[in-house]
Amino acid sequence: MSINGRDHTLKGIVVLMHKNVLNIDVVDDIADNEGDTVPPSFLDNSIALKLISASKTDGTGKGKVGEKTYLGGLVTSIPTLEDKQSAFSINFEWHSLDMGIPGAFYIENFMQDEFFLVSLSLEDVPNHGTINFVCNSWIYNTEKYITDRIFFTNKTYLPSEMPAPLLYYRYEELKTLRGDGTGERQVWERIYDYDVYNDLGEPDKNAALARPVLGGSSTLPYPRRCRTGRQPTQTDPNTESRSGYVYIPRDELLGHVKSSDFLTNRLNLASQYATPQLRSLVTSKRNHEFDTFEDVLSLFPDKFPLPLLLQVDNSAWMDDEEFAREMIAGVNPNVITKLQEFPPQSKLDSQLYGDNTSTITKENLEPNMDGVTVEQAIQENRLYILDHHDAFYPSLRKVNATDAKAYATRTILFLQTDGTLKPLAIELSTPNPNGDSFGPISKVYTPESEGVEASIWLLAKAYVIVNDANYHELISHWLHTHATVEPFIIATNRNLSVVHPIYKLLLPHYRNTMNINANARNVLINADGIIERAYLLESITLQLSADVYKDWVFTEQGLPNDLIKRGVAVEDPASQHGIRLLIEDYPYASDGLEIWAAIKSWVEEYVIFYYKSDADIVQDSELQAFWKELVEVGHGDMKNATWWFKMQTRAELIEASTILIWIASVLHASVNFGQYPYGGYILNRPTKSMRFMPEKGSPEYDDLANDYQQTYLRTITPKKESILNMTVLEVLSTHVSDEQYLGQRIEGGLWTTDSVPIEAYNKFGRKLAEIEQNLIEKNNDKSLRNRYGPVNMPYTLLYPSSEEGLTFRGIPNSISI
């Protein structure tokens, strides 16, 4: 190199993975040493890079572009290489006085096959040292792309701080990612765009498989999903045709370990009853239904792993205390509310549905309230309700016209002095045979422990759980996490550059979500998909979630506001985290508040580092465009709501980011990874009800008195659907081997060059480890009965860390399954 710096070779290392090593069934291992076989195409001028200057322009204001340079030889002496990765040397001719500091690079692939580009690092850059480019992107043949593939350094820049020579490239890349809204998307593309849910039905195949469009109307509002551009069906121009392949932007499926693909494949097989255990169980010549509880138990552990619920006691699930405990420590722990008025009221339109006021009376409740009156209990915050009346009642006439038979339900619970909840009464309601305007026919059931009445009470609880299981799967799990987050992912990628600080903040919480959502549209929530077959509402399944979305409020999705809205907590500056739980031993809430506070503290440190004032928020053109598009398009059916953040202050950005991270990580973990541990035993969480409650004097009542187990099994989810559901829940509850958990990043410490955010993130990780120890100690406190219950199943769902597998713990960064 000359003294004046005009002649200089920049040495670099390119890390990538060949397509073949990313396929499950391919054993083309990358070389461990120089003598082993390397995919030869990598070494014959098939991959070219061009550096782009961040400090010198070409006369048009754009950063100068260097000479095309090809990969060099294989490098084997890098200890940080992960499995299946290959490193190659590359030497750029780069005259630093003329070209300045590299800030980006173009890459071209001249091979037919794509490869996965992990990173580029430049060594000994004059006056700069090492420069890192974190890529993690699929690179297809260059002829597939309209614009050249570009990557930026791992520096972080607000739009106003971006080096001027790179601004053109920053904006061009965003234009590429937005696309032009036309055409059918192809597998290699990276375009993010919006569409309504119009691809769930298959009217060309069968008129019975037609489904309404969700989104774009006040009748069936919905978050947007990723546009695929597939052709409309012949039968209905408003319905998009379906195919085995569902487009997502290519980098939304990293797939570099393939474990998430493996689980997705299992879902696809399950939808066709094609897994080995499904084939053997549903094609057996034996009786196709379960006759005894022992028949169900016989599935474990040979056909299915033993659910955690059963590992200590296989009958404790029937206990009333366990029934109530699962409302605050189960898989759907964020629905229960404080009873604010008595009798419970309905928000249903009385002109359409008549008077839906609850028929539960004080006389139903007070005999089991330890001498406390209803008025006293309401005043002392001791009465709670699991209300599945209004959500289900409008659908019942359609549901009960099918093979299924269901009720709208209300369950009243009493907070006892030992901190546990005791169910007092269950109300079951069906539509009036004379018409909806006459109001429902309702009956109230109270706890019984002996004889046929105990069996009636067990069935009453089952009808409640059927509704809770359906609400969980459609609302708590699908709508409030999966569907809600997808518009954020699309808006982020369309409006925030990869070097934007908020892009970098949110990126870990988007990983694999669009992939699993696309697969859900393919096999889970589609017409005659797994949910329609294994759950109650069949063809009107998704319409329930659209109805509930009408009342969705983003600002209430964060934990503190959710708890206050449901009346289970009150603001209290003297309490830790600023709110006081009215059910003190509420595992989901108490654990969640610790993690919420840690997330918010991390986000606050991060935002304040990059935005020195509220004015910086207002002046951030990319952030403002992101938020405007999210509200007006991504959640466009809610665009007129007054509760949206205006995104004018740092406080709003901190709260919005914390809520989004909470939804994608903790909220999803809390409603997802307990599905098999609780619901793998179908008796505990049935998903369908097939008979009405037996009436005294009827043959069904006599059958119940003679054999309560068989009657219970004939009432709940049939065997075939139970097996299907168990298979799916096992898949969904399983952590994959390449999971990234809260406090971890796939890029390690290279996601930014700013030391303050890196240290703040490391501190966040240490705080999560500390919280996990606190939660372990809580579970060792036997005075906190709701943490383990009659089934002796400690509440570990919000332990931040986990191993691979079915662990009943662990908070992944994102909705990855």
Distance in angstroms (rounded) separating the CA atoms of residues 312 and 614: 55
> Measuring CA to CA, how many Å separate 712 from each of 102, 233, 672, 690?
70, 43, 26, 10
Q: Residues near 783 by Cβ (< 8 Å), separated by ≥ 6?
A: none
> Measuring CA to CA, how many Å separate 647 from each of 82, 372, 554, 602?
40, 48, 13, 19
The upper half-sphere exposure of residue 677, i.e. CA atoms within 13 Å in the direction of its Cβ, equals: 27
Parallel, antiparallel or unpaired: strands 569-571 and 579-581: antiparallel
What DSSP letter does each residue of 370-396 carry, written as one string? TT--HHHHHHTT-EEEEEESTTTGGGH
Give the N- to C-terminal CA distance of the chain in Å, as an integer.
Answer: 52
DSSP secondary-structure letter at 636? G
Tokens of 278: 């499904």
- Do residues 369 and 377 make contact, with C-beta atoms less than 8 angstroms apart? yes
- Which residues are known catalytic residues? 477, 482, 668, 672, 817
> Which of 686, 272, 656 lies closest to 465 in space, CA to CA?
686
Number of other residues whose CB lies within 10 A of the CB of residue 714: 17
- Do residues 464 and 715 make contact, with C-beta atoms less than 8 angstroms apart? no
Residues in the chain, total: 817
Beta strand segments in 392-469, E: 408-415, 421-430, 441-445
Q: Which residues of 594-629 are buried (b: 16+ CB within 10 A; e: fewer)?
A: bbbbbbbbbbbbbbeebbeeeebbeebebbebbbeb
β-bridge mates for residue 122, sequence order: 12, 131
DSSP secondary-structure letter at 102? E
SS3 for 771-799 is HHHHHHHHHCCCCCHHHCCCCCCCCCCCC
> Which of 533, 537, 555, 558 lies closest to 546 in space, CA to CA?
537
Dihedral pair phi/psi, residue 445, rounded to 5°: -120, 140
Distance in angstroms (rounded) separating the CA atoms of residues 253 and 265: 14
Dihedral pair phi/psi, residue 107, rounded to 5°: -140, 140
Q: Residues near 25 by Cβ (< 8 Å), separated by ≥ 6?
A: none
Number of other residues whose CB lies within 10 A of the CB of residue 166: 25
